[in-house]
Structure 1
């Protein structure tokens, strides 16, 4: 399987000439660009001085020269050898509830960058509109969008990326989207296209394309790897979505089996939050045989866990469904794992419901997992999230008051017992804490066990040069100069 890097850049994206010496931001990592850096757009190498996208939110990949060939620039920083900007899907909207583009469900949060949306709101998108979506592809045929562009003029060329979920003779499925292989010669797919392979599909546009239409205008179909391959022994920083959990110390992340241990540093969550559908950045070392040893794991957004009594009226099922639990309304993300069909079908009697997910930058709650935990039990409720304010013995978390007055125990991030003083030294605004206690039915949790999940720590220093950085484009010097942050 060949590691092709595919990118689609819309003609309407604002662009500026490349500057010989410039820092850009990829997932919080400064990346140095100079005249030797190759910029790749839509499988083509841009000539020096060509426009490059200045659209924060685009998925970007920066690859650096090998250690033997690395030559630091005037700032003592090695410039990137290649930078690739990419989209995951481009084409017609086939559903608005939930939002799907060419059958692929898309999560759009307050963290998603956008251009040209009618009225500036994703809710104004209609069936048949054309969108470019950049972001991270989940194994459940969904996308966590980092950037979306509305195309007022339908584009003649479509792009579809994702995992094969079914093969039926000369037709395959990427989630609900049917794709015809008739007359298509797959590239880098071996003897056949199989379930689980990751594809990049280019196709001509089809007028009046709907959710039930077959994509039968394929011009190129390639088996690719969803995360670029790194050099064994080299450092890397990869961003994407957690796949299958392989063991209590490893999980699938694109093509890699990622392992972690007690020395792995976590931010915005803990090892307990590593679950399918979670978006994260992983820093570490590439190993042999598509393995990756994690030195640090940072969730893309602060994690939340909420468990408590839920009544049938508290659940709005469907593609844009919500669950109201412990005074919090949690939206369904496309990356949701809903084994008990809470969001899919609702509930017909009061139950104890656990929801796990994350907060976007506007404080919206998003669910990536929901489970039934038996009958309703207000005395065994739980809230996990970032601290908003502290007035000992009270903490404000997720709009709730966590009252620790009658707490029976305090724990540190490793689960070891600590005293109240030690807990409150770490439970500062921004820290992530947990209380497993009694819910009063209004807005307060009391008693039980109180734990510090993650303290407020400064981000780690950049450290040694990475060979590969994959993540969200945050802009360049000129963007920052215009006030972007």
Structure 2
């Protein structure tokens, strides 16, 4: 790990940088058409509210969309790469956008609807997925063409943030993911085979190697079906999913993505962009233990161009996280689909890390199982990691998550009742507090960790154990010098903003 003292001076290091105009490549230099004159605000990841004006470069997949202003709400759910001008604030939560690029990661035919697959790539749809002019996913049919925006896992499955069914046939197909099984004539993106034909791979500075992230474009093929290779490839391009500009000094960044690697020190990568933690890095909706391959999160920090890393001040897990551990019977597992803990059904996803094969193969006997995951906006639980934790023990169960109801001495965590009458209580710093102080400090939505507790299988009530409040105490936001020229980000459009918020994740 790099020495932390390097980063203590980053705030001072963020000084004058070379003014970087928008690239002329792929029509990105075409400006917005000026509708509305004064511009409007765009909301990214709920808390980042930026102004678009007549000078903002607006593109979709690298091509200008002159109607975007008039149809701004239609951009909800798009994965977006953005650049904020010199009025960017300390936490990259406000400022004027120099440029935005709305990204469809996949454009092409569905080869399955249960499970949902575009090309031969698995797609996870949750209650957080925005459906554009589409009442429900179950109205889609095999062969329908769709546009999908979202974030790609290391196995090249996609967590969809937006799905659109175009009214006209697509004139170009597209898919994104990590290249594997590369040879002279073809390669894979997940299970999808892509034939190169005469195409030469572009922009691979480090070579077209195993695991590089690529975008593939192809001519639509009316004969394409499930398990078929893509044979009409027109372009393959290596894509930098991290900070894709090279400033002279540090700049503020906010990067959303799926973790594709974690080292022994807890530092990690998103799209090959290295992210390093500080001793004081703040975690929202989770903690350092939740950073694992497949985790979806947003990093707020400073890009250090000398080491080409992002130094993380704050890390926010973008879904409500949970961790359950209890005894699981074989009948609690629906092989390939779900697992049940505390009476709650937790769905498997294409991104689930099932390292002991519990969901994929089932259980032969009652076993202590740990499940980590997230809850979508409709209350459905999804597993991100499932692990065996030894022999069944109803006197040593774990329940971490948000409080959904509170009435001393009972709390509910994600709807699971907890009788705290015999519990020990800790504050956010791990200091002992009274039951009264605990209930005065918590409310609906407060994160708590419950360990070493008991479970009554008959009533499904958790009792006793150690209960700690898990809400972070946010530090003073870093202050940037006035000479900062721009900020960079990758996120998801969550709508139009009526107000400007500037308090980061809090």
Q: Please, what TM-score do these two structures have when normalized by structure 1? A: 0.87
- 2:297 maps to which residue? 280
CA contact (8 A) 1:269 1:454 kept: no
| Distance in 1 separating the partners of 2:27 and 2:374 | 28
Determine helix, strand or coil for the equivalent of 1:54.
helix
- 2:319 maps to which residue? 301
- 1:40 maps to which residue? 59
- Where do 1:352-367 residues align within 5 Å? 352-367=368-383
> Structure 1 residues 157, 462: closer, same or farther in 2, change over 3 A?
farther
Q: Deviations over 1:101-139 (max 9, x none)?
A: 12222111111101233xx22133332221111111111
| Distance in 2 separating the partners of 1:149 and 1:339 | 33
- 1:467 maps to which residue? 487
Residue of structure 1 aligned with 2:426, choices 411, 422, 427 = 411
Shift of 1:422: 4.0
Q: Deviations over 1:338-376 (max 9, x none)?
A: 111222222222211111011111111111111111222
Residue of structure 2 aligned with 1:139, choices 145, 151, 154 = 154
> Structure 1 residues 207, 468: closer, same or farther in 2, change over 3 A?
same
> Structure 1 residues 149, 280: closer, same or farther in 2, change over 3 A?
same
Q: Is residue 214 from structure 1 mapped to residue 229 from structure 2 by the alignment? A: yes
* Number of aligned positions between the proteins: 459
> Structure 1 residues 414, 166: closer, same or farther in 2, change over 3 A?
farther
Shift of 1:49: 8.5
- 2:445 maps to which residue? 430
- 1:31 maps to which residue? 50
Shift of 1:420: 3.4
Q: Bigger relative contact order, structure 1 or 2, given CA contacts below 8 A and separation 6+?
A: 2
| Distance in 1 separating the partners of 2:435 and 2:498 | 47
Determine helix, strand or coil for the equivalent of 2:97.
coil
**How large is the RMSD of aligned CA atoms in angstroms?**
3.0
Q: Is residue 151 from structure 1 mapped to residue 171 from structure 2 by the alignment? A: no
Structure 1: runs of 5+ lacking an equivalent:
9-14, 481-485
| Distance in 1 separating the partners of 2:309 and 2:350 | 27
Determine helix, strand or coil for the equivalent of 2:177.
strand
| Distance in 2 separating the partners of 1:306 and 1:152 | 43
| Distance in 2 separating the partners of 1:369 and 1:352 | 14
> Structure 1 residues 124, 317: closer, same or farther in 2, change over 3 A?
farther
Q: Is residue 60 from structure 1 mapped to residue 80 from structure 2 by the alignment? A: yes
Shift of 1:307: 1.1
Shift of 1:4: 11
> Structure 1 residues 295, 362: closer, same or farther in 2, change over 3 A?
same
CA contact (8 A) 1:249 1:261 kept: no
> Structure 1 residues 304, 129: closer, same or farther in 2, change over 3 A?
same
- 2:194 maps to which residue? 179
- Where do 1:333-412 residues align within 5 Å? 333-407=349-423, 409-412=424-427
Shift of 1:424: 2.9
Structure 2: runs of 5+ lacking an equivalent:
1-22, 501-506
Q: Please, what TM-score do these two structures have when normalized by structure 2? A: 0.83
